[in-house]
Structure 1
Amino acid sequence: MAHDQFGELTGWDLEGFHNGGDTELWKRLGSHVITEQGDEPGDEGKVAGVRFAVWAPNAKSVQVIGDFNWWTGDQLQLVPGSGVWAGFIPGLGEGTLYKYRIETQEGHWIEKVDPMARFSEQAPANASIVYESKYIWSDDDWMEHRRNGRAHAEPMSVYEVHLGGWRQGKSYLDLAEELVSYVKWQGYTHVEFMPLAEHPFAPSWGYQVTGYFSPTSRFGKPDDLRYLIDRLHQAGIGVIMDWVPGHFPKDEWALGRFDGTALYEHADPRQGEHMDWGTYIFNYGRNEVKSFLVSNALYWIQEFHIDGLRVDAVASMLYLDYSREEGQWVPNEFGGRENLEAIDFLRYVNRHLYEREPGVVMIAEESTSFPGVTKPVHEGGLGFGFKWNMGWMNDSLRYLQLDPIYRQYEHNLLTFAMVYQYSENFVLPISHDEVVHGKGSMINKVPQDDWRKFATLRAFYSYMWSFPGKQLVFMGCEFGQRPEFNEAASLEWWVSELWGHGGLQRLFRDLNHIYRDNAPLYELDNDPSGFTWINADDAAHDTLSWVRHDTHGNHIACVTNFSPEPLVDYEIGLPEAGAWEEILNTDAPIYDGSGEFGNLGEVNAVAEPWGHFPARARVAVPPLGSIWLRRNLGS
């Protein structure tokens, strides 16, 4: 039977939870192994056991059921004035399987997993598991660097990973060796994990969460995940995780209608359900829900040393009429379509995390023109650090899919992004969303034969890595995987041994290393002084050219030719006369290019005005290729 005490949990402990200010809720609710003073006559010792605590304010009664009581139920007691049911059961410890059995006001009994569980059974089983971390971190140097970081002025090239599909059947511990080694070799600064919180349906890729505080057990225990992250940090690689505070699934054993009423979600389906996705929407105006979600964000950052959260589907949170017809949504108090409660919640989370954990990054996947997504909260913005540039992604992929003969007529698709480049702090994403659901893999988006496909991709990624903004690419794109992403299968690693695929993979490695070693390519991403067009208007040659600058007077000129015709003696303007080193040519033989069109490692600029530049040079640019030129300050 449950103990009379609550393991020192009182209504006072839960005051912050009820006013929306408890940002460490996992320390109070859920299951915790504790020792408590014995209360039997003559018992003066300590008793070890587990304290259970769950928020179910509208329940008539709550029991904890598990393998320790043959799933028959021990009664929990209501903590006075709190809506939280709690109890201490002596003799239990780590590994205990449990659920909550809740009696609704109508007298029905429902079984629920623990919303605050920190470990869970592997799907399709779903019981919560008592778990206490014993992990000792070894990433002090990384964490110190994070606290003093300047994310906007530092390189960020992100490798987006679905853990189950990177190499099928690998555990967190396996990935701590294989994934870390690969990402370090490729030179990415960060990995971004698609959601790692527990989810029952594998094809949801983790975007329909049933265990917000529970790392998925598909790949091992929570401390195994900590080890993976620790190893990434020790290798100098940051870790971003997708976070899903926008909606949750309707599985009857999870968060939905938790105590028989709409607790975490809105009761009105016009506010509380995404009809397209078949999911519930959190009630951001409820203080306890705010405490739950902000605590969850901090939990991953503090307990798992996650360096940043990429917040999924922000647009669906910002607008009350998102994917809804007229009459299917409820306007806000001013008659508008903005979800004011969700906006306040996002500002709250972002402000709290940036103040609490300096150096973390909050990234919005936001597809609309909502103003001020990356503006600080105190200036009226949402307070994110970065926003995915969905406009750049859509325009550039439209251009990529055109036959070269038609590209000259759609040149603005590649130049338009500079019109709004400095309105937000952008990440340029080629994510999993672009290679699923019939959209085709990146290489199959490009028309014509394999030579042109691979050459075009090499030019495209060079264009992307030299464009202002941080970069993100989905796993498999780096070696030109041909099938679409399938979460049930491994990437086709064997093709990286083949012509074209291997060259593309080697190009990615060099793009990352050159990018990280040259401040002009990242330091002033969000400052107009970091970018100057050479020629934005050469549609006739399907060619774009610009110069990137840093704060120390260094320059890198980037010229990309999306035409199948080589450019010989192509004249460009440059900010300085003298020797410019050719540091990248995507047509080089090492990348499986022809090696026929280059500049023999150097270009000499003469002091003759060209447009708005004081110097000019003639360069060779390969067909469907890019060159990068670096000003050699020693010359």
Structure 2
Amino acid sequence: MSENPVPVLIKNDPWLVDQTDAVRFRIDNYETHLEDLKSQYSNLYDYADSHLNLGIHYLPDQETWIVREWAPEAKSISLVGDFNEWDGEDSPLEKGEHGIWEARLEADCLKHEDKVKLRIHGADNSVRDRIPSVIRRAVQDPHTHDYAGQVWSHSETYPWQHDFDPSSITTPLIYEAHTGIAGEDPRLHTYLEFAENIIPYIASLGYNTIQLMAVQEHPYYGSFGYHVSNFFAPSSRFGTPEDLKHLVDTAHSHGIAVIMDIVHSHAVKNLAEGLNEFDGTDHQYFHGGGKGDHPQWDSKCFDYGKPEVRKFLLSNVRYWLEEFRFDGFRFDGITSMLYDHHGNIAFNHYDKYFKDGVDNDAILYLQLATTLAKQIRPGAIIVAEDMSGMPGLCRPIEEGGIGFTHRLAMGLPDYWIKLLKHKQDEDWNTDEIWGTLTNRRHGEPNISYTESHDQALVGDKTLAFWLMDQDMYWHMAKNDESLVIDRGIALHKIIRLLTFALGGEAYLTFMGNEFGHPEWLDFPREGNGWSYHYCRRQWSLIENKELKYEYLAEFDRQMITLGKRSDLLNSPQAHQLWSHNGDKIIAFERRHLITVVNIHPTQSFTDYHIPVKEAGSYKIILDSDAPETGGHNRIDASVDYQTKETEHGPALSLYIPSRTAFILERVD
């Protein structure tokens, strides 16, 4: 226990002084629980072992299968499946200490790929066939569409080929992807196809991290993977566990880290597939009563104050890092976890981050989870999807933080969409853009992005579609002159470069958005006749040399490559050199690179003076107006620009065309 020093989080931000006791409580609560764990187990790592004890395991030294399940209020449990023709009397489990049920079966009782369930007589007198809670594979019957657990014994033999150190990724440049939609055919695509076709493309763009969506098994494909039923099972609709390991191994061979969306913020309500009312009560894994329901998401809310639930979820963290060698996580729905009200308020006072409606049990769980992940995978990338802006989320726990390495800058996509929806181009304000893109907490790394995956779904619009709309269907040929497309391509590049260079310490794009994918995603559902027509990515659009999509992909590649080469984002925030709202020009310096942006729709400027810190000769190293990226080639990139001395210091005299952005580097 600490001796009541002022937490570092408070020292670094005097505005938080009134929250000193709350921050100190977070530190002390974590330390107290960690010491308690160590008194029962040797360490946090050994505590997180549910996946090794619960479930179905073969013990070769005993030539025995052991089946264990935690269901404290169940009245009886038996194992049913292919092996005993689903006979509920054949293989009963016996209840032992701490609500753990157990059965032992002879070696020849179960075999690889046998389908199994637990027949549970619940506390409410219900009798239901349930999938074991830590099952490592769940499969759907193609005819009945019912899910069942499946005995899987091949995973331990996967021949890993490539070691990878996630600490080598100093600046995550993240390509967010979904396996099932990662191909052009109107069907489900697989882990193996992703490894063969998509990873080399991601590498060619320069991204160094893949964020993989929809990994944990989920019964409804259209949930985008966020209504999880089986937390330890990689989704079988994309292939086997070994196929997923091959995907990760392949990415590592390209020097690319792989993080997964991990969903610990809620769980699917389904009784047949998930954990809801598992032992016949509503409070085994989740809060009982109304607190256990998430009304906006139609799902169940975990009770993070229950030790068994924390152990289950922490074991899940350990499992994915060790079994599949993921390099970290993007924790989904953190805002919903942090607050009893799930974030459905205005965060207009610091009390709302530390005192009012805060779920301290969830904070403790997240502190333990980030600690465990870093112990298992030093250098792990651990991202928080939080829209509340809780201070300290990405600071060390000993300082009063929660331990994440990055947070998503969720306000940036909303800002760009609002700007495109509500303001004419000539009304864009350079000071407002600067303020929005640079407004973040010092010392808490942000991941900037221009649009979220939600904007790619039916009912919303991607940035490209907001800019160009239906004209994308008819006027994207290179020989087709269109003012709408010309504007859209120019602003698509400018918005991305501004967001990339100003908005954070890491960067993310969603699959296909880098080249302005023209159509939304619409998952198979009753309303579209269960069609896969829009549930795919049309890579042929950038492969077609007659279309302009390759321009956007090429600019994205140049931008990412430059950012990686210069380590642009692994540096302090940018320093503004110039902002003139009348001229619509912004200029700034970051990592000794000078970025100049003219968002004026029509006005170009000659001999425009931009003040710089260092005198010398400068050269353009990235130009949104370059012809290979769909520009008008109005700037001569071969010219060296020599600074001039002015009364205010050195300055560059530049030609700055309308709707253009470029970056200069000092060359002497």
Q: What is the TM-score with the length of structure 2 in the denominator? A: 0.83
- Structure 1 residue 68 corresponds to structure 2 residue 83: yes
Quick one: structure 1 residues 268 and 55, their matched pair in 2 at CA, closer, same or farther if it must change by over 3 Å? closer
Q: Which residue of 2 aligns with 1:485?
A: 521
- Structure 1 residue 26 corresponds to structure 2 residue 51: yes
Deviations along 1:52-78, one digit per CA (max 9) or x if unpaired, are 111111111100000011111333333
Give 1:275's match in structure 2, choosing from 295, 298, 302: 295
Deviations along 1:503-532, one digit per CA (max 9) or x if unpaired, are 00111111111111112x1221xx35xx21
Quick one: structure 1 residues 324 and 592, their matched pair in 2 at CA, closer, same or farther if it must change by over 3 Å? closer
- Structure 1 residue 522 corresponds to structure 2 residue 569: yes
Instruction: Tell me how far apart the structure 2 counterparts of residues 121 and 285 of structure 1 sit (CA, whole Å).
Output: 31
Give 1:576's match in structure 2, choosing from 614, 623, 633: 614
Deviations along 1:199-220, one digit per CA (max 9) or x if unpaired, are 0001101100011000001111
- Structure 1 residue 213 corresponds to structure 2 residue 232: yes
Q: Which residue of 1 aligns with 2:218?
A: 199
Percentage identity across aligned positions?
27
Contact 1:407-1:542 at 8 Å conserved across structures: no
Query: 1:437 Cα shift?
Result: 4.4
Query: 1:378 Cα shift?
Result: 0.9
Give 1:532's match in structure 2, choosing from 553, 572, 575: 575
- 1:393 is paired with a residue whose SS is helix
Query: 1:172 Cα shift?
Result: 1.3
Q: What is the TM-score with the length of structure 1 in the denominator? A: 0.87
Instruction: Tell me how far apart the structure 1 counterparts of residues 246 and 493 of structure 2 sit (CA, whole Å).
Output: 35
Query: 1:237 Cα shift?
Result: 0.9
Q: Which residue of 2 aligns with 1:131?
A: 152
Letter of the aligned partner of 2:247 in structure 1? L
Letter of the aligned partner of 1:137 in structure 2? W
- Structure 1 residue 589 corresponds to structure 2 residue 652: no
Q: Which residue of 2 aligns with 1:163?
A: 179
Instruction: Tell me how far apart the structure 2 counterparts of residues 506 and 402 of structure 1 sit (CA, whole Å).
Output: 29
Q: Which residue of 1 aligns with 2:31?
A: none
- 1:422 is paired with a residue whose SS is coil
Q: Which moved more, 1:226-235 or 1:623-632?
A: 623-632
- 2:189 is paired with a residue whose SS is coil
Q: Which residue of 2 aligns with 1:543?
A: 585
Q: Which residue of 2 aligns with 1:52?
A: 67
- 1:366 is paired with a residue whose SS is coil
Letter of the aligned partner of 1:439 in structure 2? D
Instruction: Tell me how far apart the structure 1 counterparts of residues 324 and 338 of structure 2 sit (CA, whole Å).
Output: 28
Q: Which moved more, 1:187-196 or 1:481-490?
A: 481-490
Q: Where does 1:102-113 land on structure 2 (aligned, <5 Å)?
A: 102-113=120-131
Contact 2:395-2:443 at 8 Å conserved across structures: no
- 1:505 is paired with a residue whose SS is helix
Contact 1:257-1:263 at 8 Å conserved across structures: yes
Instruction: Tell me how far apart the structure 2 counterparts of residues 87 and 277 of structure 1 sit (CA, whole Å).
Output: 36
Deviations along 1:572-617, one digit per CA (max 9) or x if unpaired, are 111211111210111111011111234534322134454xxx4111
Q: Which residue of 2 aligns with 1:373?
A: 393
Quick one: structure 1 residues 324 and 185, their matched pair in 2 at CA, closer, same or farther if it must change by over 3 Å? closer
Q: Which moved more, 1:590-599 or 1:223-232?
A: 590-599
Query: 1:366 Cα shift?
Result: 0.2
Q: Where does 1:237-386 land on structure 2 (aligned, <5 Å)?
A: 237-253=256-272, 254-322=274-342, 336-386=356-406
Letter of the aligned partner of 2:121 in structure 1? E
**Any stretches of 5+ residues in structure 2 without a counterpart?**
1-39, 469-482, 524-531
Contact 1:55-1:85 at 8 Å conserved across structures: yes
| Deviation beyond 6 Å, 4+ runs, structure 1 | 323-326
Q: Which residue of 1 aligns with 2:494?
A: 459
Contact 1:282-1:289 at 8 Å conserved across structures: yes
Letter of the aligned partner of 1:55 in structure 2? W
Q: Which residue of 1 aligns with 2:94?
A: 78
Instruction: Tell me how far apart the structure 1 counterparts of residues 521 and 497 of structure 2 sit (CA, whole Å).
Output: 23
Q: Which residue of 2 aligns with 1:501?
A: 549
**Any stretches of 5+ residues in structure 1 without a counterpart?**
1-14, 38-46, 550-554
Instruction: Tell me how far apart the structure 2 counterparts of residues 119 and 239 of structure 1 sit (CA, whole Å).
Output: 21
- 1:206 is paired with a residue whose SS is coil
Quick one: structure 1 residues 445 and 275, their matched pair in 2 at CA, closer, same or farther if it must change by over 3 Å? same
Quick one: structure 1 residues 400 and 558, their matched pair in 2 at CA, closer, same or farther if it must change by over 3 Å? farther
Deviations along 1:9-59, one digit per CA (max 9) or x if unpaired, are xxxxxx769x9972122111111122354xxxxxxxxx3x43211111111
Query: 1:285 Cα shift?
Result: 0.5
Contact 2:458-2:522 at 8 Å conserved across structures: no
Give 2:193's match in structure 1, choosing from 174, 180, 183: 174
Instruction: Tell me how far apart the structure 2 counterparts of residues 626 and 402 of structure 1 sit (CA, whole Å).
Output: 23
Contact 2:171-2:505 at 8 Å conserved across structures: no
Quick one: structure 1 residues 54 and 601, their matched pair in 2 at CA, closer, same or farther if it must change by over 3 Å? farther
